C-alpha cells in the first residue's frame, strides 16, 4: 500500500533552513513575542516544532529544561539555544539579539514619550488606569507561580519566610535566594519528597506531553552538530570572550566617569541583577525596586510601576523594563547636559540591556555543548523548587508595595480612609478578577484599564 502525500511529508525532514531564512524568522519573532515567557515559548513551539519542524519536540523540551534552570529570561535563552544549535555562534547571537532588539527600540521610544509628556492629561489618565492593572498583574504572577509551586507545607514555609525576610526584615533579595537554594539542596538530600520539581520559571507552557509532529531537521536521533560538541578549548574561548565583552565596557565606564558615576553603578548593579532572575522577571523586580527606588534613588515608586506597565505592553522579555529604569534615570539626571537628554537616556537603556543580557548568551554558548552531550534532563530541581517558593513570598511583598502606592497615592495620612483611592481599587479588583478568574489576556486587561482611567480622569476629575 502506497503512502499518501501527507504521510510521506510526515516522514521526511524539511530542508535545512539557511542562515538568512532563520534570521528572518528570529526578526519576526522579536516583533510578535507578546504574552510573557509562557506565551513566547508557546509561539516558538508552534513555529519551530509544529509548523516548520526545525527541531523535534524532545530536543525542544530538552533545551527548555536547561534554560529554565538558568537565571535570566528563559524564552530569550531558548531562542538563543535553538539558533545556536542550527547555525552555531552567529545563529545563537542573532536569535538572542533579535528577540530583544525590537523591545529595546520600542521601550526607548515609549520611555521618552513617558518622561517628556507623561504629565499631560491624556497620558496621566491612561497611566491612572494602568497602574492598578499592573498591581493585579503582579498578584496574578504570585497566584500562578504559587499554585504551581507550593505543593506542601515545606514549600509554603519557605514562601512565608521569604515574605517576612523582605517585608519585615528588609533583607536583600540575593541573600533570600541563596538561603532558599541551600534549604532546597539540603531538603532534596534528606526529605526529597517535599521538594519535587517546580518546573522552572514558567513551566506551565502546556507542552508537557511529547507529541510527534513528523521528522524534524534536528530530530530526536540527529547527531549533535560539530559546532555544538563539547571541548575544553571551546568552553574556555566562550568564557574568555564573554569576560572581555563585559570587562571592556565596564572598565571604559570606570575610566571615563569613575566608579561612583550613575552609568558605572548601573552597569555593575544590572550585572548582578542578571544572576538574580531565578523565577523570571517578577522575581527580580523586588531586587531592582530595593536598589533603584530605596538605595540609589534613581526612580520613584510610581515611575517603577509605570515602567512595568510599559514593559507589559511591548514584545520581548518583561525584564526589558530595566531599560526603562536606565533611560528615565539618566534622562532626569541630564548626565550629558540639558541639550542631550534623549541621547543620554538611550545610551543608558542600551548599557543596561547589554549588562543584563550578556550573561544569558554566555550561559547558552558555554553550557549548550555540555547539555547536548548528555541529552538527559538536568536534575537540580530541589534547589530550584525552594528558590521558586521563595520567589512567591517576594512577589507577594511586591504586590503589597504596588498596592500601597496605587491605592494610597499620597501615602498614609492622619485620615486613613480619605487618602484611599476607591476608583483605583475598583480597577485593581476588576483587573484581578479578569486575569485570575476569567483568564483574560493581559493586553486586553491593560487596554481596558487604561480606557477606564482616562474616563475616570475626564468625568470624575
pLDDT value at residue 201: 44
Sign of CA dihedral 162, 168, 170, 171: negative
Chain centre distance of CA 363: 16
3 domain-assigned: no
Place of cell 575610566: 255
* HSE (side-chain half, CA atoms, 13 Å) at 251: 6
8 domain-assigned: no
Buried/exposed 322-341: b ≥16 CB within 10 Å, e otherwise: bbbbbbbbbbbeebbeeeeb
**What is the share, in percent, of the chain residues with pLDDT greater than 90?**
28
Lowest-confidence region among 40-54, 278-292, 361-375: 278-292
230 domain-assigned: yes
151 domain-assigned: yes
185: its cell numbers:
539542596
Structural domain harbouring 395: 19-459
Residue 228, CA distances (Å) to 13, 91, 217, 358, 362 in order = 20, 12, 15, 20, 14
4 domain-assigned: no
Give how many domains the chain has, as a whole number: 1
Read off the pLDDT band of 140 (50, 70, 90): confident
167 domain-assigned: yes
pLDDT digits (tens, 9 = 90+) for 89-98: 999 999 999 9
> CA 367, CA 356: separation in Å to the nearest integer?
18
**What is the share, in percent, of the chain residues with pLDDT greater than 70?**
85
2 domain-assigned: no
pLDDT digits (tens, 9 = 90+) for 401-435: 778 878 887 666 656 666 788 888 898 899 889 88
End-to-end CA distance of the chain: 76
Residue 374 above 70 pLDDT? no
Chain centre distance of CA 401: 20
> CA 183, CA 387: separation in Å to the nearest integer?
9
Residue 106 above 50 pLDDT? yes
Average pLDDT of the chain is: 81
> CA 387, CA 391: separation in Å to the nearest integer?
6
421, 408 contact by CB (below 8 A): yes
Lowest-confidence region among 41-50, 198-207, 327-336: 198-207
404, 425 contact by CB (below 8 A): no
Higher-confidence residue of 138 and 263: namely 263
pLDDT digits (tens, 9 = 90+) for 189-228: 787 777 764 444 444 444 444 456 778 888 878 888 888 8
pLDDT value at residue 439: 82
Residue 152 above 70 pLDDT? yes
443 domain-assigned: yes
How much is the pTM?
0.75
CA neighbor of 34 nearest in space, from 312, 280, 319, 279: 312
Amino acid at each position: 500500500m502506497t503512502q499518501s502525500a501527507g504521510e510521506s511529508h510526515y516522514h521526511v525532514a524539511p530542508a535545512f533552513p539557511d542562515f538568512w531564512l532563520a534570521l528572518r524568522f528570529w526578526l519576526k519573532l522579536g516583533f510578535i513575542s507578546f504574552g510573557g515567557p509562557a506565551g513566547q515559548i508557546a509561539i516558538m513551539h508552534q513555529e519551530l516544532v509544529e509548523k516548520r519542524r526545525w527541531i523535534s519536540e524532545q530536543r525542544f523540551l530538552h533545551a527548555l529544561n536547561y534554560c529554565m534552570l538558568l537565571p535570566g529570561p528563559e524564552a530569550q535563552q531558548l531562542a538563543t539555544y535553538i539558533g545556536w544549535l542550527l547555525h552555531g555562534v552567529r545563529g545563537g547571537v542573532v536569535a538572542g539579539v533579535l528577540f530583544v532588539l525590537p523591545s529595546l527600540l520600542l521601550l526607548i521610544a515609549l520611555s521618552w514619550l513617558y518622561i517628556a509628556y507623561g504629565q499631560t492629561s491624556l497620558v496621566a489618565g491612561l497611566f491612572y488606569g494602568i497602574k492598578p492593572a499592573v498591581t493585579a498583574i503582579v498578584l496574578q504572577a504570585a497566584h500562578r507561580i504559587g499554585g504551581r509551586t507550593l505543593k506542601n507545607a515545606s514549600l509554603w514555609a519557605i514562601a512565608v519566610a521569604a515574605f517576612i525576610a523582605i517585608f519585615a526584615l528588609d533583607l536583600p533579595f540575593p541573600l533570600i535566594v541563596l538561603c532558599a537554594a541551600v534549604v532546597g539542596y539540603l531538603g532534596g538530600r534528606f526529605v526529597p519528597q517535599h521538594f519535587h520539581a517546580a518546573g522552572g520559571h514558567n513551566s506551565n507552557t502546556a507542552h508537557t506531553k511529547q507529541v510527534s509532529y513528523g521528522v524534524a531537521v534536528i530530530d530526536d536521533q540527529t547527531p549533535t552538530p560539530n559546532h555544538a560538541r563539547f571541548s575544553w578549548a571551546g568552553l574556555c574561548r566562550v568564557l574568555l570572550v564573554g569576560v572581555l565583552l563585559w570587562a571592556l565596557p565596564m572598565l571604559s565606564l570606570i575610566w571615563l566617569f569613575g566608579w561612583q558615576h550613575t552609568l558605572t553603578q548601573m552597569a555593575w548593579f544590572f550585572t548582578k541583577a542578571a544572576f538574580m532572575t531565578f523565577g523570571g522577571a517578577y522575581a527580580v523586580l523586588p531586587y531592582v525596586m530595593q536598589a533603584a527606588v530605596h538605595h540609589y534613588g534613581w526612580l520613584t515608586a510610581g515611575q517603577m510601576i509605570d515602567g512595568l506597565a510599559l514593559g507589559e505592553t511591548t514584545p520581548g522579555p518583561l525584564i526589558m523594563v530595566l531599560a526603562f529604569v536606565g533611560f528615565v534615570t539618566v534622562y532626569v539626571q541630564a548626565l550629558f547636559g540639558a541639550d542631550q537628554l534623549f541621547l543620554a537616556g538611550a545610551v543608558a537603556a542600551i548599557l543596561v540591556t547589554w549588562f543584563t543580557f550578556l550573561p544569558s548568551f554566555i550561559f547558552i554558548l558555554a553550557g549548550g555543548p555540555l547539555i547536548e552531550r548528555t541529552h538527559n534532563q538536568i536534575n537540580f530541581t530541589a534547589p530550584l523548587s525552594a528558590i521558586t517558593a521563595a520567589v512567591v513570598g517576594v512577589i507577594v511583598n511586591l504586590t503589597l508595595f504596588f498596592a500601597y502606592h496605587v491605592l494610597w497615592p499620597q501615602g498614609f495620612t492622619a485620615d486613613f480612609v480619605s487618602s484611599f483611592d476607591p476608583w483605583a481599587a475598583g480597577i485593581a479588583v476588576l483587573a484581578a478578577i479578569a486575569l485570575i478568574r476569567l483568564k483574560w489576556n493581559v493586553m486586553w486587561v491593560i487596554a481596558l484599564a487604561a480606557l477606564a482611567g482616562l474616563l475616570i480622569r475626564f468625568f470624575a476629575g
